[in-house]
Amino acid sequence: MITSQLMQPQSIIVVGASNNTHKPGGAILRNLIQGGYKGELRAVNPKETEVQGIRSFASVADIPDTDLAILAISAALCPDAVEILAAQKQTRAFIILSAGFGEETHEGALLEDRILEIVNKYGASLIGPNCIGVLNTWHHSVFTQPIPNLNPKGVDLISSSGATAVFIMESAMVKGLQFNSVWSVGNAKQIGVEDVLQYLDETFDAEKDSRIKLIYIESIKDPDRLLLHASSLIGKGCRIAAIKAGSSESGSRAASSHTGAIASPDSAVEALFRKAGIVRCYSREELTTVGCVFTLPELKGKNFAIVTHAGGPGVMLTDALSKGGLNVPKLEGPMVDELKSKLLPGASVANPIDVLATGTPQHLEIAIDYCENKFENIDAIMAIFGTPGLVTMFEMYDMLHQKMLHCKKPVFPVLPSIHTAGKEVEEFLQKGHVNFADEVTLGTALSRIMNVPKPAANKAELYGVNVPAIRRIIDSIPSDGYIEPHYVQALLRAAGISIVDEFVSNQKQEVLGFARRCGFPVVVKVVGPVHKSDVGGVALNVKSEEHLALEFDRMMNIPDAKAVMVQPMLKGTELFIGAKYEEKFGHVVLCGLGGIFVEVLKDVSSGLAPLSYEEAYSMIHSLRAYKIIQGTRGQKGVNEDKFAEIIVRLSTLLRFATEIKEMDINPLLATEKNVVAVDARIRIEKGNLG
């Protein structure tokens, strides 16, 4: 619950206020005063009548009614103070800075529970405990430094960690990135990251509010709510980037399938962010760089021109952009020759455009003008300009400032000399610009932004999927665990997924009869052991009845063998689709190259079921092996439309069969005409529907 008293309090009390600004109660009072808070500011300190020039009361029982209370006292004293303030002083917003609650001990958790019960009873907001506070244009209720430049169009930062929020602000301020608000939710006993995002969504004003949201989150407690409000904000024109900490976490259960071997809780996070349209970052520098990119006009294409006076950074930026699937196209033709004639002798114009270290602001202007007006295959311009310390850069950066104001194409300033040309860079930033001091970090950030799909609708594609049949089959399965092959086949057929003809039996003559009908060569597989290939339970290209009879006898002697499966031998590119149920998130669907490559290369994309066709194509295109799927070096590509269709159909199957906890189809054999499921495993748990 986020109240108006939290956002725009008319009065604030700092409980535990101090004259010592090295203590949280002193530092937060200083920040409120220096931030120009215009409401009634009060303090509680039993030893003082005045703290930092602000009237001080001996106890919370003595103060007038107050909108917002900031507590910087020991954890044990907080519940009683909250009760008095809420019940007697009409306080409807609390920020508790104190630590020593549920993050440390069971006793601390009980204190937290009592505080939550009180604030909920009185309809009050609670930020924290164990946080640095809340910072916005109305009040600076944080005890930390630095305080960034605040601007209603600046960034809204939401952070699980107070210290991380401070470090993100430090990283952003060096780049010139401004803020509208900073939320440190700490233990998030009442208000967590999802709650703040919901508030920003439900109160969003397109005319007045910031369109940039940066998030640092340690635990996603409510994925559905995060997805709903993030995608809603993005649909309203906002841009969101986030770090999810703890991405190396892996399940403790030993993997029993290809999917289990590669899926993790982090796969679910990746899938959630993709579905919402959130740009995922992995460091503070990446996050704030992406935030800076969001302040510039939105990119309309992937072709970049690099204008520089230093060859090396231009090459490194070219490499970073290319690695991320973006382009630095070669410039050629009469217009390029014309540009070269207007630059210094020795200048290079092929792209990067190197105007040389002796290039003037006018040469920078000419190069940018050609990229803006005469090179149609350029979508954005990178300007890399530092100084070796021989000259000042005021004129050069002022020219860049003018170009950024008037160019329709985005211009990215890369000004690396933040020490040698510190004054010049500072003046440039004061004009409202951002700076990307490191060209490779910029290239990485751009690739992350450009490769994120738009938010997807969270609804199942039902066409061609027989939902009643899926439910009948699931309900008829007698027990949990990996299900029999005929159930697997029936489920895939009900979902409209093409499967190879197969026959399962523990009778040799029946197996031989099927092989005669479908024709040799055939594939033979043992039924029973989970990892068939590990126990020698797969034989390919069996060309005769005699060979098949020998393989049948051999496989039936494998421990745990129940029967033998026979399929016609098909050829094609091996693909993989898998899925795993993750608590709270639902089913994570994975796709990639199949066979042994899925576990060896781990080149997979993830999506959150149910999936749209647009999401399925995005998953396929994001694979490093996508060129193989397209066709390369004379080899024909595969039917990408069929691959996407199967991904979508599988996600719909999972939507209506939540009992499926793990499955993979590996391999799918794909040709330019068709994609067919050859082998599949499904594990169900009926006792726990998630």
Q: What is the pLDDT of residues 553-577, one digit of tens each?
A: 999 999 999 999 999 998 889 999 9
- Give the model's pLDDT for residue 254: 39
Residue 506 vs residues 33, 177, 485, 537, 551: alpha-carbon distances, Å: 83, 69, 13, 14, 12
Residues with Cβ within 8 Å of residue 185, at least 6 apart in sequence: 127, 128, 131, 158, 159, 160, 191, 192, 193, 195, 196
Burial of 365 (0-12, 13-18, 19+ CB in 10 A): middle
Q: Does domain 457-500+570-690 have CATH number 1.50.10.10?
A: no
Contact 291, 212 (CB under 8 A): yes
Q: Could you read off the pLDDT of 52-64 as tens digits, one per residue?
A: 999 999 999 999 9
Instruction: Quote the pLDDT of residue 690.
Output: 42
- 667 — pLDDT class (breaks 50, 70, 90): confident
Is residue 149's pLDDT more than 70?
yes
On the question of pLDDT at 253 being above 60, the answer is no
Q: Residue 425: pLDDT above 80?
A: yes
Nearest Cα neighbor of 566 from 519, 502, 518, 521 is 502
The pLDDT, as a whole number, for residue 247 is 64
pLDDT per position as a tens digit, 582-641: 989 999 999 998 877 777 777 889 999 999 999 999 999 999 888 888 887 767 889 999
Q: Between β-strands 40-44 and 54-57, what pairing exists: parallel, antiparallel or unpaired?
A: parallel
Cβ neighbors of 120 (< 8 A, separation 6 or more) are 1, 190
- If phi over 0 gives left and psi between -120 and 50 gives alpha, with beta otherwise, what is residue 328? beta
Is 90 exceeded by the pLDDT of residue 387?
A: no
Amino acid of residue 161: S
CA distance 194 to 201: 10
Of the chain, the percentage scoring pLDDT greater than 90 comes to: 82
Output DSSP code: residue 130. S
Please, which contacts does 108-116 make with residues 24 or more away whose CB atoms are closer than 8 Å? Answer: 108/75, 111/75, 111/76, 111/78, 111/79, 112/187, 112/189, 114/79, 115/78, 115/79, 115/82, 115/189, 116/189, 116/190
Residues 200-221 have pLDDT tens digits of: 999 999 999 999 999 999 999 9
Smallest CA-to-CA distance from 326 within 304, 347, 355 is with 304
Work out the angle between the directed axes of helices 545-556 and 508-518 (0-180°, nearest 10).
140
Can you state the angle between helices 334-342 and 361-373, rounded to 10 degrees?
Answer: 170
Q: What contacts 313, CB < 8 A, 6 or more positions away?
A: 384, 414, 416, 439
Q: What is the pLDDT of residue 445?
A: 96
CA nearest neighbour of 266 among 274, 255, 258: 274
Per-residue pLDDT tens digits for 35-48 = 999 999 999 999 99
E strands within 128-247? Answer: 133-136, 140-142, 150-159, 179-184, 212-217, 239-244
- The architecture of the domain spanning 304-433 is 3-Layer(aba) Sandwich (3.40)
Residue 77 has pLDDT above 50, yes or no: yes
Instruction: Please provide residue 390's backbone torsions phi and psi, each rounded to the nearest 5 degrees.
Output: -90, -25
Predicted confidence at residue 348, as pLDDT, reads 92
Cis peptide before 610 (omega within 30 of 0): yes
Average pLDDT value for residue range 494-510: 92
Phi, psi of 599 (to 5 degrees): -90, -30
Residue 267: what pLDDT? 87
Look over the chain and give the mean of its residue pLDDT values, rounded to a whole number.
Answer: 92
Sorted by where each begins, the domain ranges of the chain are 4-136, 148-246+257-294, 304-433, 457-500+570-690
> 387 in helix, strand or coil?
coil
Q: What pLDDT is stored for residue 203 in this prediction? A: 97
What is the rounded (10 degree) CA torsion for 221, 222, 223, 228?
A: -150
Contact 663, 644 (CB under 8 A): no
Same fold, 4-136 and 457-500+570-690: no
Least confident of 386-395, 441-450, 460-469: 386-395
- Residue 407, pLDDT above cutoff 90: yes
Element holding 13 (H helix, E strand): strand 11-15
Element (H, E) at 54: strand 54-57
pLDDT at 255 over 80: no
User: What is the predicted pLDDT for the residue at 252?
Assistant: 35
pLDDT band with cut points at 50, 70 and 90 for residue 259: low
Residues 1-17 have a mean pLDDT of: 97
What pTM was estimated for this model as a whole?
0.89
What CA dihedral angle connects 251, 255, 261 and 262, to 10 degrees?
Answer: -30
Which pLDDT does position 266 carry in this prediction? 85
Phi, psi of 402 (to 5 degrees): -60, -45
Closest by CA to 669, choosing from 573, 596, 554, is 573
User: Does domain 4-136 sit in CATH 3.40.50.720?
Assistant: yes
Residue 261 confidence (pLDDT) = 52
Pick the CATH number of 148-246+257-294 from 3.30.750.24, 3.40.50.300, 3.40.50.261, 3.30.470.30: 3.40.50.261
Q: Determine the average pLDDT of the residues in 257-278.
A: 79
**C-alpha span between 375 and 504 (Å, rounded):** 63
Give the model's pLDDT for residue 258.
52
